Amino acid sequence: MNQHVSAGLTDPVHVQPTRLEDVVRLVGLKRRFGATAALDGVSLTVKKGEILGIIGRSGAGKSTLIRCLNGLERPDSGEVLIEGREIGRLGERELQPLRRRIGMVFQHFNLLSAKTVEENVALPLKIEGRPRAERMARAAELLQLVGLSEKAKAYPASLSGGQKQRVGIARALAARPALLLSDEATSALDPETTRSILALLKDINSRLGLTILLITHEMEVIRSIADRVAVIDAGRIVEEGAVWQVFADPKSEISRSLLGGIRPQLPSDIASRLIAGEGAETILRIDVAGEAARGALLSDLAVAVPGPFRLVHGGVDHVQGQPIGTLFVAVPGAEAAHLARVTTFLRDRGARVEVLGHVAGPV
C-alpha cells in the first residue's frame, strides 16, 4: 500500500516537505512490540487548524501512534516533528516542556479523584509553575467554555461521564496547547453525550483555531468533526484523504468495512437471494458523490434510457457539505443491451456502477 498518500491528494500545494503550518509531521514511524509491528512505517502530516481523524480497528496501532506524538511512546525508527521540532530522540526531561504544548484527552478521562474539578483543570498550569491566582482564573475561564462553571468545587466522582470528559477537555486546554490529542475521547460515552462532546471539540477547533488529532474506531466520530481521515490497519496508513472523499469512494477493504455501519448496504434479505445467472430483475449499486450527485441523475436516466427501474434501497447523505449517494436499483428484465445502456449512461454522469447480481422474482 502507498503510505505516502499525504494531504497532497486533496490539496496539491501541500506535497511540499515540512512547512511551518504543519503542526505534526510523521515520517516513516516504526514501533515493534515483540513480534508484532504496532507501527510499520507511518507518515502523516497535520496542518495547523485542521482536525485529522485516525480510524482503525482495535490493535491497528492507533494508540501507539498517538502516544508517539507526545513521547509517551518512543518509536524504534522514523521521525516525529512537532511544530518543526524533532522529538523522537529527546530525553524525558527535554520532552516535559514540549508536552505542555500538547493537550491530551483520554477515553477514561483520567481525572484525579482527590482534586476538585477546578484543581484538575488547573493542574497543567501548576506543573508549569504558574501562580495560584492565575491558575484559578484560567480554570474558571475554561470551565465556562465547557459549560461546567457550577461544578468547579465538585469532585470528579460526582460527575456524569460527559461532564468528566468536559473537564478532561478543559484540562487539556489549560496550558494553551498548539495541538490537542484525543485518544478515543467518546468511546466510553453514550451516543447523545458523544454528540455533545464532539460538538464541543468542533467548537473549540473553530473558535480557537486549535489543531486536533483524534483517534477513534467509530466512523460516526470522523464524520461528525474531522476534516481529513487517515485509515490505519496493521500499523500502516492504508488510506488518507478528505472525509467526504473517503466516505464517497473508500479504496481499502478496511475503510469499506469501517464504513459499513453508517453507509447504506444492500439489505441482507435481498443479498441472500442474489443469483449469478438469469433472473427477473438485475440489482445495481450506484455510488455518486460531489458534483455528480447534485444533478437530476435518476430522472435524466429515465429520459435517456426509457424503461422501468425501481429504487430498492439507499439514499443521499451529506458529509462536509458534499452529497454522497449510494443507491440500490432493480432493473427488470435481463436484457444485456438495455442494462449496458443504463450503466453507460450512469458512468458517463460520473457515477460508479456495480452489477451486484440478479433476483428470480421481484424484491
Contact residues for other proteins, defined by CB under 8 A: 70, 72, 92-93, 95-100, 102, 104, 106, 108, 110, 112-115, 123-124, 126-128, 155-158, 171, 175, 181
Angstrom distance (rounded) from CA 41 to CA 236: 6
**Closer residue to other proteins in complex, CB, 98/356:** 98
To other proteins, the closest distance from the beta carbon of 211 in angstroms equals 16
Taking the least distance from each CB to other proteins, the nearer of 56 and 177 is 177
Q: What is the CA radius of gyration of the chain?
A: 24
Least distance CB 113 / other proteins (angstroms): 5
Cα–Cα distance measured from residue 106 to residue 337, given in angstroms and rounded to the nearest whole number: 57
Per-residue exposure over 317-352, b if at least 16 CB sit within 10 Å of its own CB, e if not: bebeebbbbbbbbbbeeeeeebbebbbebbeebebe
Query: Considering beta carbons, is residue 174 or 254 the nearer one to other proteins?
Result: 174
| C-beta closer to other proteins: residue 150 or 348 | 150
Cell numbers placing 43? 507518515
- Give min distance, CB of 94 to other proteins, in A: 11
Provide the minimum distance between the beta carbon of 119 and other proteins in the complex, in angstroms, as a whole number. Answer: 9
CA 78 to chain CA mean position, Å = 24
Give the nearer residue to other proteins in terms of CB position, either 92 or 348.
92
Which single residue is written with the C-alpha cell 524504534? 76
How many C-beta atoms lie closer than 10 Å to residue 146's C-beta? 22
Q: How far is the CB of 201 from other proteins (least distance, A)?
A: 17
